[in-house]
């Protein structure tokens, strides 16, 4: 079914291409937007139409709400898909899209706004019977109040920005002295990053697991869960590797957590795709937040359920009811996603933008690569460092790990440093293989020591495989001709 004639994708890179692929299968024309340095990016070439929306800095381009809506109206697009990041969870943007007579492919702006406040959403979940961590019920009004609450719930505690996300503005305090510093620093960063200095304090779990539940909800009140994902391996509170289902999940725990996720969706009057995130420790789980958008790691859920999440989003946004019941959704196998970032893991994950001089993506049974890069592409320094998502599906977790190892072995990216060697080390780590992970996994499981050992081996492997990619004059001429053809015919 063709739900819309034309959709504008308000994003860039691999997620823009991912959305465009679903649209192409549905017979929907696509409009890409791009910043000046992205004019030769693959998502620009792939779309049916593409328009520059401004300069390199995101505030001048991918965050330019009015300009994006103007392009949508001028091109005749009926809907806008925000992808993730940028404006995906911006309530003002979702409202503007609606006010301009367009369809926002995601939850309502009112829901985004309500769930965007960590304090407000936490209270909402508490009222709905969803477990939450103990802490200050409102924003910190005074240091004395914060000290009193911290003493009651016990150190360590964590200070969070109410309007925050991505780990920004989060600080851990082991005692009163650190708490004072954490609040002062957290408020300053929250004001700078989000325009809202409100922070709150809650109990800090030292080695929790990060487990999330994927939900789908239509406008008629039907809500489904698409099972669980494990996202515990992180750096700077941002995910590096995800898998589905969670390795430690039991039927009883899944029943409790999915019921809580559906209760959260009902409390927020949720529609479209969303993710309810929890922290899990010692048999208990606690609400963390709702991501009101398509997740980076939606790929592993697609692998184990066979559902196309983007198509589901588009159908729901068009007013369609969910075409399946809960009993129609089942788990088939195990999937792992590795985020391939242009970063140096041995230099505190410093970004490493630059030109891709050799590139070969892996393939074979059970492998999926979502990427927006190619040979000759220059990774700009202005945006997120993730350049590719490498996914593996197996009949069970053991086979998924085996396939991911093979895929990493086959993957060649030369010209920039990436997290590929880090993922290679993780795939061979005994604790990971046993499913024993937590949010401090990278710091405590000696991964970096293993990484140094694997790094030279990985570099040698890539150079060997890359030798087969060196182009002679004849191949280079063919490549150039193909590029010219694409530029002329993919507009």
What is the tens place of the pLDDT at every residue in 313-358? 999 999 999 999 999 999 999 999 999 999 999 899 999 999 999 9
Judgement on whether residues 178 and 218 belong to the same structural domain of the protein: no
Residue 165 pLDDT more than 90? no
Assign residue 396 the CATH number of its domain.
3.30.470.20
Residue 479 pLDDT more than 80? no
Banded pLDDT at 470 (limits 50, 70, 90): low
Write down the pLDDT at residue 469. Answer: 63
For residue 365, give the nearest of 406, 424, 304 by alpha carbon: 406
- The SS3 of residue 417 is coil
Judgement on whether residues 239 and 151 belong to the same structural domain of the protein: no
Judgement on whether residues 33 and 97 belong to the same structural domain of the protein: yes
Domains held by the chain: number: 3
Judgement on whether residues 309 and 417 belong to the same structural domain of the protein: yes
**Token output for 223:** 């809500």
Judgement on whether residues 90 and 144 belong to the same structural domain of the protein: no
Assign residue 186 the CATH number of its domain.
3.30.1490.20
Judgement on whether residues 159 and 25 belong to the same structural domain of the protein: no
Judgement on whether residues 285 and 303 belong to the same structural domain of the protein: yes
Judgement on whether residues 82 and 163 belong to the same structural domain of the protein: no
Q: 325-331, long-range: CB within 8 Å, 24+ apart, which pairs? A: 325/224, 326/224, 326/225, 329/224, 329/225, 329/226, 329/227, 329/305, 330/305, 331/227, 331/245, 331/304, 331/305
Tell me how far apart the alpha carbons of residues 355 and 2 are, in angstroms, rounded to a whole number.
39
Mean pLDDT of the chain: 92
Judgement on whether residues 231 and 360 belong to the same structural domain of the protein: yes
Judgement on whether residues 148 and 230 belong to the same structural domain of the protein: no
Tell me how far apart the alpha carbons of residues 35 and 71 are, in angstroms, rounded to a whole number.
13
For residue 73, being part of any structural domain is answered with yes
Q: What is the mean pLDDT of residues 463-478?
A: 58
Active-site pick, 229, 293, 339, 403: 293
Structural domain span for residue 151: 134-203
Assign residue 41 the CATH number of its domain.
3.40.50.20
**Token output for 340:** 């391939």
Give 224-276 pLDDT, tens digit per residue.
999 999 999 999 889 999 999 999 999 999 999 999 999 999 999 999 999 99
pTM score, whole prediction:
0.91
Q: What is the mean pLDDT of residues 448-464?
A: 77
Please say if 293 is a catalytic residue.
yes
More confident residue, 462 or 100: 100
Contacts of 347 (CB under 8 A, 6+ apart): none
For residue 361, being part of any structural domain is answered with yes
Give 381-394 pLDDT, tens digit per residue.
999 999 999 999 99
Write down the pLDDT at residue 241. Answer: 98
More confident residue, 42 or 488: 42
Report CA-CA distances (Å) from 257 to 227, 228, 239.
Answer: 9, 9, 20
Q: What is the mean pLDDT of residues 191-200?
A: 89
For residue 298, being part of any structural domain is answered with yes
Give 128-145 pLDDT, tens digit per residue.
999 999 998 888 878 888
Judgement on whether residues 88 and 233 belong to the same structural domain of the protein: no
């Amino acid at each position: 079914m063709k739900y819309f004639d034309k959709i504008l994708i308000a994003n860039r890179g691999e997620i823009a291409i991912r959305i465009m692929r679903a649209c192409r299968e549905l017979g929907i024309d696509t409009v890409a937007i791009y910043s000046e340095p992205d004019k030769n990016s693959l998502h620009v070439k792939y779309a049916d139409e593409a328009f520059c929306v401004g300069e390199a800095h995101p505030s001048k381009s991918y965050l330019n709400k009015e300009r994006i809506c103007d392009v949508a109206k001028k091109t005749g697009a009926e809907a806008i898909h925000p992808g993730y990041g940028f404006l995906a969870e911006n309530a003002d943007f979702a409202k503007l899209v609606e006010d301009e007579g367009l369809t926002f492919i995601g939850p309502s702006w009112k829901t985004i706004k309500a769930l965007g406040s960590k304090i407000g959403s936490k209270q909402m979940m508490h009222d709905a019977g969803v477990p939450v961590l103990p802490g200050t019920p409102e924003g910190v009004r005074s240091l004395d109040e914060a000290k009193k609450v911290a003493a009651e719930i016990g150190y360590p505690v964590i200070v969070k920005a109410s309007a925050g996300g991505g780990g920004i503005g989060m600080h851990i305090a082991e005692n009163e002295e650190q708490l004072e510093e954490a609040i002062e620093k957290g408020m300053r960063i929250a004001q700078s990053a989000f325009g809202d200095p409100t922070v709150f304090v809650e109990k800090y779990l030292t080695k929790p697991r990060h487990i999330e539940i994927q939900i789908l909800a239509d406008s008629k009140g039907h809500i489904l869960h698409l099972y669980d994902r494990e996202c515990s391996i992180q750096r700077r509170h941002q995910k590096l590797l995800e898998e589905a289902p969670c390795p430690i999940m039991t039927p009883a725990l899944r029943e409790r957590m999915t019921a809580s996720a559906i209760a959260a969706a009902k409390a927020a009057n949720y529609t479209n795709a969303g993710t309810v995130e929890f922290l899990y420790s010692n048999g208990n789980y606690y609400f963390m937040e709702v991501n009101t958008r398509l997740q980076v790691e939606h790929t592993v859920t697609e692998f184990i359920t066979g559902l196309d999440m983007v198509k589901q989003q588009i159908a729901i946004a068009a007013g369609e009811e969910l075409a399946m019941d809960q009993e129609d959704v089942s788990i088939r196998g195990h999937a792992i996603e590795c985020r391939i970032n242009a970063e140096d893991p041995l230099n505190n994950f410093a970004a490493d933008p630059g030109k891709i001089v050799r590139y070969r993506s892996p393939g074979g049974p059970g492998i999926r690569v979502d990427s927006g890069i190619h040979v000759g592409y220059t990774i700009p320094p202005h945006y997120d460092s993730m350049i590719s998502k490498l996914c593996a599906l197996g009949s069970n977790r053991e086979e998924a790990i085996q396939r991911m190892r093979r895929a990493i072995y086959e993957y060649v990216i030369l010209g920039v440093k990436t997290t590929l060697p880090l993922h290679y080390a993780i795939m061979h780590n005994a604790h990971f293989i046993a499913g024993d992970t937590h949010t401090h996994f990278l710091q405590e499981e000696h991964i970096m020591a293993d990484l140094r050992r694997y790094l030279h081996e990985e570099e040698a492997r890539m150079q060997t495989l890359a030798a087969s990619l060196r182009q002679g004059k004849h191949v280079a001429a063919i490549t150039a001709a193909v590029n010219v053809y694409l530029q002329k015919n993919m507009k």
